Chain A
Amino acid sequence: MGMGMGTGMGMGLGTTGTGTGTVDEDEEREAVFYRLENIGYRVGQGLVERFARDRPRFSDTLDVIKFVCKDLWGLVFRKQVDNLKTNHRGVYVLTDNNFRPLSRMSVETGGRSGGVQQAAVFLWVPCGIVRGALAAMGIQATVQAETTELPGAVFQIKTLPAK
């Protein structure tokens, strides 16, 4: 089954969370991050439960990461990750040069660098999705994402050693 996706809407990036805020604003940003990341986590977990169920067991962590880059990315963002790098010691860097949730955003030309920071909010759910997906496949990790130039996004996965 397919569903329509609202792609024609302008993304009105608000003026909230420009980072230079007061303690209260930082706290609020933190709370929003926590919520959105958790929502993503649950979604990532559920997606893997449904879509990795019938495939052969993963041979190693890299195999799992590749599943994230190809299958999960395709499922959620309808394209694959453009580049995957690893230091072979538990750190994986995923680069998506045209990250779907950011693909229709625009920033004031020559304006403050605030746009990129505001766009960061849109990376929190995806971060959670990746972390949740990894967890469902038995890998504990921290996931951070940043964007330096729209519409690209870089995800850094640090796996935690198994206990």
Chain B
Amino acid sequence: MAANKASRLGEETRIDKVNAELVVLTYGTIVSQLCKDFDSDYVEVNKQLDKMGYNIGLRLIEDYLAKSNTVRRCSNFKETAEMIAKVGFKIFLNITPTIANWTNDGKQFSLIFDENPFADFVELPDDGRAQDELWYSNILCGVLRGALEMVQMQVEAHFISDVLRGNDTTEMRITLIRYIDDELPPEDD
């Protein structure tokens, strides 16, 4: 079973650990700096976080492939989801979000974060807007988008709920837009 294999891979991978508080504080400070820089324009902050994540994802995929010892490509998007949740998130954040809410066409699913290390000790600004506009962990959407693009998948990812906003769960929605065809360089005859 692909699911079991993914859990095993995620568990087996031994990697260097870094102090969780250091990550939490650094990420928090970056978000708050962005809020300052963009004058609490949270729509713009979301955008910037996504962009930062995208740039991380473009490189992180190499690290993922090196560390996860995956030998072959995923045969379908469901398998990809398993690998993201149980191997990718396990390696880099030491969490395993739950996969849920597949659409019938198998192109859209949710990751539900029972725990989100980024959000430890976090409170959103109490200005009456951040609760509705800021997606605090939005960097993760960008990471997935960037990483998957490097392995021929164009996806769209966004949060639809966040416990920081007072929702019951933290849920990210991921949609496969298309598989990117290998584009051969133009032949020079």
A residues neighboring B (CB under 8 Å): 1-9, 35, 38-39, 42-43, 46-47, 50-51, 75-76, 78
Contacts and interface: CB of A to CB of B under 8 A. Distances in A.
Given A4-B92, A42-B25, 12 more contacts: A1-B94, A1-B117, A3-B94, A4-B16, A4-B17, A4-B67, A39-B33, A43-B25, A46-B25, A47-B25, A50-B21, A76-B22
A116 to B, nearest CB: 23
Interface stretch (B56-64, B99-107, B127-135, B178-186): B56-64
A6 B23 CA distance: 12
B15 A5 contact: yes
A76 B33 contact: no
Given A3-B23, A43-B25, A78 B18 contact: yes
Contacts of B66: 8
A39 B94 contact: no
A39 B20 contact: no
B30 interface: yes
Contacts of B59: 6, 9
A78 B18 CA distance: 8
Contacts of B94: 1-4
Interface in B77-105: 91-94
B19 interface: yes
What is the interface of chain B mostly: helix, strand, loop, or mixed? helix
A2 B29 contact: no
A39 B18 contact: no
Interface residues of B, number: 26
A101 B49 CA distance: 22
Closest A-B pairs by Cβ, 6 of them: A2-B17, A5-B18, A46-B25, A4-B92, A42-B29, A8-B63
B7 to A, nearest CB: 16
A43 B67 contact: no
Contacts of B16: 4-5, 7, 78
A47 B92 contact: no
B26 interface: yes
Contacts of A6: 59-60, 63, 92
A76 B63 contact: no
A3 B17 contact: yes
A46 B92 contact: no
A25 B177 CA distance: 40
Contact of B29 (A5, A43, A51): A43
Contact of B117 (A3, A9, A38): A3
B18 A3 contact: yes
A3 B20 contact: yes
A35 B34 CA distance: 10
Contacts of B21: 46-47, 50-51, 75
Nearest to B15: A4
Contacts of A2: 17-20, 94
A122 to B, nearest CB: 14
